[in-house]
Amino acid sequence: MRNIVAALFILIVSIPSAYAADGISRREGFLLLWQSIQRPAFAMREVPFTDVIDGERGFQEITYAKNRGVLDDEDAFRPEDTLVLGDALLWLYRTRNVAELPDMQKEHVSALMVRYPIVASGSDISAIVASQEELLFLMSKLDSLLRDEVHEVSMYGEEFHGDGTAFGETFDMHAITAAHRSFPHNTLVKVTNIDNDKSVTVRINDRGPYIDGRDMDLSVAAFTMIAPRSQGLLRARFERLGDIALVEGCGERLRFQQRITKDVRFQRGVPHQWQTGKSLTLKANRWFVVRGITYPDGTVVRVQDWVHPDEFFGFTPSTPGRYVFQFASTEGRRREMRMNAVDCASDALEQ
């Protein structure tokens, strides 16, 4: 995330700001915050803001953020109004997931300003954010504070192995994954043991831990990469890197096929390239059907699995080669998607 914010800053300061005198709009400010966290925005069934129209810049990101609670669920967003400090701080804390959402409401801004003092004490939160540079400075300052925070991290293993995670996956204690109370699903986080400076980059695929004072549960595989298993607990710093869909792996940027029909779309979708042995979860905005899968050796498996919008379909390619998925909508409209599975060392997950 540090590199993204730095790149945004370089880009912006090299261009004369059109907002320096009168502040920046709420739309521009929010999109700048959203871009910095490398989090994809998926098409949602959520009712959009009345004043943010489909086809306008930022429609999908703003509507998705409304659905996820990053933006308040109100009728209007007022995209062209000038961004004020109070809203900028609230969105900044929420995009960084510094706490669970119920603890990041408007009434909590003052307390969060004390916990993360990125503006001077007593600052007027009704003041306008004067420029993009000012917003970037706040982002950089908070990200720096978050990277310096020390967290207590625990390990979970056999007692949960094979259980379902909060995101519909099957927990595998041998995978490089972690549970966190507020980081979004599929976020990559670099975890550094402060006692030996060893690091591992994990993918968030579960919620927890729910023991006071602990901030992350690492799978056995992830924990033992940076500390002895017998230790059980460690102190670490976190660096949030972004969503796995936006991080390069296997030598190329991940690209996903999302649409079954115009109205039925996956949240992430079927990647053009994926790793063998790595779990893929498919979730859509409406009912869809997995009719069948053709394996690299030509074997065709008839599935006929109907998947509800609140459910996932999971698949793990076991051998390298091309997999062909047959999907359909409830109306019978079909779509074929191809995925090439390869054996590769994932720099994103195993550092």
| Contact present, 37 and 52 (Cβ < 8 Å) | no
The CA-atom distances, in angstroms, between 205 and each of 9, 16, 43, 246 are 31, 41, 21, 16
Question: Longest Cα pair distance anywhere in the chain, in angstroms?
Answer: 68
Helix (H) or strand (E) holding 189: strand 187-193
Residue 291: count other Cβ atoms within 10 Å of its Cβ.
16
Nearest by Cα to 200 from 226, 219, 218: 226
DSSP codes of every residue in 290-301:
EEEEE-TTS-EE
3-class DSSP state of 138: helix
151-246: CATH number:
2.40.40.10
Residue 222 tokens read as 């992830």
Quick one: pLDDT at residue 221? 92
Residue 84 tokens read as 């004020």
Interatomic CA distance for residues 179 and 204, integer angstroms: 6
| Contact present, 238 and 98 (Cβ < 8 Å) | no
pLDDT tens for each residue of the chain, 351 residues long: 555 555 454 444 433 333 334 799 999 999 999 999 888 888 777 789 999 999 899 999 999 999 999 999 999 999 999 999 999 999 999 999 999 999 999 999 999 999 999 998 889 999 999 999 999 999 999 999 999 999 999 999 888 998 999 998 889 999 899 999 999 998 989 999 999 999 998 999 999 999 999 999 999 999 999 999 999 999 999 999 888 766 544 545 567 898 999 889 988 789 888 888 777 889 888 999 999 999 999 999 999 999 998 888 989 898 888 999 999 999 999 999 999 888 754 443 333
Map tokens 């920046």 to a residue: 24
Q: Is 167 left (phi over 0), alpha (psi -120 to 50) or beta?
A: alpha
Rg of the chain over all Cα atoms, to the nearest angstrom: 21
Residue 133 tokens read as 């540079």
Interatomic CA distance for residues 216 and 153, integer angstroms: 5
**Is the preceding peptide bond at 184 cis, omega within 30 degrees of 0?**
no
Check: pTM over 0.75? Answer yes or no: no
3-state SS, 59-92, equals HHHHHHHHHHCCCCCCCCCCCCCECEHHHHHHHH
Quick one: pLDDT at residue 8? 52
Q: Does domain 256-342 have CATH number 2.60.40?
A: yes
Map tokens 């992350």 to a residue: 216
Where along the chain do its domains lie? 2-146, 151-246, 256-342
Interatomic CA distance for residues 51 and 30, integer angstroms: 15
3-state helix, strand, coil in the chain (%, to 5): 25, 30, 45
